[in-house]
Chains A and B, each alone.
Chain A
């Protein structure tokens, strides 16, 4: 069974009498362990699709099966639980909490549903994740004292701390220079290969998309091409 299975997903925004269809029936399967790049020009609906995939938004039509569960009709609270347990997010602008150390940023998601864990256990998990992204020596640094690449690595550690099955990265290299971008993409590849975490990258840069195993192109709310680069 696929990890993600979309069946004729539609999203239409209504403004008064006007209706604006953004997604016009997306049908898509993503298997466990895949690394997919979602590309398209701006306005093609890739961000909307990612919000739906990331359980931040609800489709107006169609079915969304994640890990064997239909989740397009879940309540806000139920979707929050799904996000916490199965999904990790990495954003273009990092979204770290200011004046909060890297380690505390990383363990922040654990505070919500992993409350049964002791403080020490949480810190251990956070440290392990920061070591994974190569920031063992920056744990006590606040975001303002970290470079962009380091901040994004903290964000990746935070996305992984709940051991999610899937990580969504929205333009993760958009604010980074080439060298840092390569480093970030290398980390994504590594966690995809070693841990089998499914990764969905949203990007409009083709060379970033090339680092994925499969590229899905969106155009005007529909899939225009679906290419598998390598297995």
Chain B
């Protein structure tokens, strides 16, 4: 029997009752539409995530202080205050796979401009390399320079959210704002970055030289400036000169076997850039070695710092998205299963209705296998039509969601191939029993059936 003819007969049989065929396939249509929509939205989410991670820099490494546990009491994360400028310099010197390092100091507080006030999501102190490491740029004005950092200048960069909320859309460059009652001059506006992958507004940020943040603002790191210096956080320019200008004097003993001076300025964390994503693991290894050295840890001691890379973040979030997508896909497949049972039901009805036709076909020479093929092809064609309709519907749905709710989505060819495959499979599985029943009919009985 020619394959094309079987297909033609199947299409004819289906067209004989279009309403019923449509209702029969509805289960498949809905199931496939759900699969397609979910896959496209899931794909979109994954791509956005990948882009976000790339924005944050796939080549970046973060270093945080470790925890201290004394007498069974854990200090929690960042309990130690052991990441210092010494570490920064040591990493730059001792790690060939590291391009640049910036200390990061976080503070919280209110910022004031004129009669407006605002509490930004983050106020961070960094050095001149931060913008490059964080893959960020300036929209307007100028970036923080090395000079700003070494002199502890009271300058800052603001994100677009700050411009909108505090400056009410005015150009803030050149204006003064107050952070914790310290006056900072706005020298630049950051390029809009949008929400990060945790949904936090990255534009709700003030960036200042870390030396300024450390010395001028309250709550920057848990220890104050230095035990060698008599200055406190309230002192002004002298403390910054201790940090940089006087740094040569502060390290006279580092060449000798004596202990280096007590850490004088801890920072909250470090952000480090490797040349590219592939060199991140090597950089992590080097940083670990250098930090163990500078922290004078014996081989049996655990690290007193934590290193995190963006790769870990990205893996975590990717696996989260995938888990949720897979869960929803399971629900969609349940719908497909129910749809398949609907197909089986209607095919059984159809076989009973067409008993005489089956008897006739057998009488004129159709073998059991011909009848089996005919009904099986019919059920596959029904499912395939449903699947195609479902693909169109699902794609329409994801496009509509993208337009209406700004959910990212992208066409998933895998999903389309999967959907077609699944429809054929459902047709085959759920059409087999009715087709087998038809093929087993006795021609005499079937011809006599009323």
Interface of A toward B, CB cutoff 8 Å: 51, 54, 56-57, 76-77, 80-81, 83-85, 88-89, 91, 95, 97, 99-100, 108-109, 111-113, 115, 158, 162
Q: Residues of A contacting B357 with CB < 8 Å?
A: 97
Query: What is the bound-complex CA distance between A89 and B16, given in angstroms?
Result: 26
Interface of B toward A, CB cutoff 8 Å: 1-2, 5, 9, 12, 16, 356-357, 359-370, 443-444, 447
25 contacting pairs across A/B (C-beta < 8 A): A56-B363, A56-B443, A56-B447, A76-B367, A76-B368, A77-B367, A77-B368, A77-B369, A80-B365, A80-B366, A81-B365, A83-B362, A84-B366, A88-B364, A89-B363, A95-B356, A95-B360, A97-B357, A108-B364, A111-B1, A112-B361, A112-B366, A112-B367, A112-B370, A115-B2
B447 touches A115 (CB 8 A): no
Give the nearest-CB partner of B440 in chain A.
A76
Query: What is the bound-complex CA distance between A113 and B447, given in angstroms?
Result: 21
Q: Residues of B contacting A76 with CB < 8 Å?
A: 367-368
B365 touches A84 (CB 8 A): yes
Q: Residues of B contacting A95 with CB < 8 Å?
A: 356, 359-360, 447
A51 touches B360 (CB 8 A): no
B364 touches A112 (CB 8 A): yes
A109 touches B444 (CB 8 A): no
Query: Nearest Cβ distance between residue A64 and chain B, in whole angstroms?
Result: 16
Q: Residues of B contacting A89 with CB < 8 Å?
A: 363-364
B356 touches A111 (CB 8 A): no
Partner of A51, one of B1, B5, B368, B444: B444
Query: What is the bound-complex CA distance between A77 and B367, given in angstroms?
Result: 5
Partner of A115, one of B5, B12, B368: B5
Give the nearest-CB partner of A83 in chain B.
B365
Closest 10 CB pairs of A and B: A84-B365, A109-B364, A80-B367, A95-B360, A112-B365, A77-B367, A115-B2, A83-B365, A111-B5, A89-B363
Q: Residues of A contacting B369 with CB < 8 Å?
A: 77
Query: Nearest Cβ distance between residue A211 and chain B, in whole angstroms?
Result: 24
Q: Residues of A contacting B356 with CB < 8 Å?
A: 95
Query: What is the bound-complex CA distance between A77 and B447, given in angstroms?
Result: 18
* Known A-B contacts A99-B16, A115-B5; A56 and B444 likewise in contact (beta carbons under 8 Å): yes
B365 touches A85 (CB 8 A): yes
Q: Residues of B contacting A109 with CB < 8 Å?
A: 364-365
Q: Residues of B contacting A84 with CB < 8 Å?
A: 364-366
Q: Residues of A contacting B360 with CB < 8 Å?
A: 91, 95, 97
Q: Residues of B contacting A85 with CB < 8 Å?
A: 365
Q: Residues of B contacting A112 with CB < 8 Å?
A: 1, 361, 364-367, 370
Partner of A108, one of B2, B359, B361, B447: B361
Query: Nearest Cβ distance between residue B274 and chain A, in whole angstroms?
Result: 67
Supplied contacts A80-B366, A111-B1, 20 more A-B pairs, CB within 8 Å: A54-B363, A56-B443, A76-B368, A77-B367, A77-B369, A80-B362, A80-B365, A83-B362, A83-B364, A84-B365, A89-B364, A91-B360, A97-B360, A100-B12, A109-B364, A109-B365, A112-B364, A113-B365, A115-B1, A115-B2
Query: Nearest Cβ distance between residue B226 and chain A, in whole angstroms?
Result: 95
Query: What is the bound-complex CA distance between A81 and B1, given in angstroms?
Result: 12
Query: What is the bound-complex CA distance between A108 and B367, given in angstroms?
Result: 14
Give the nearest-CB partner of B364 in chain A.
A109
* Known A-B contacts A56-B443, A91-B447, A100-B12; A83 and B363 likewise in contact (beta carbons under 8 Å): yes
Query: What is the bound-complex CA distance between A57 and B12, given in angstroms?
Result: 30
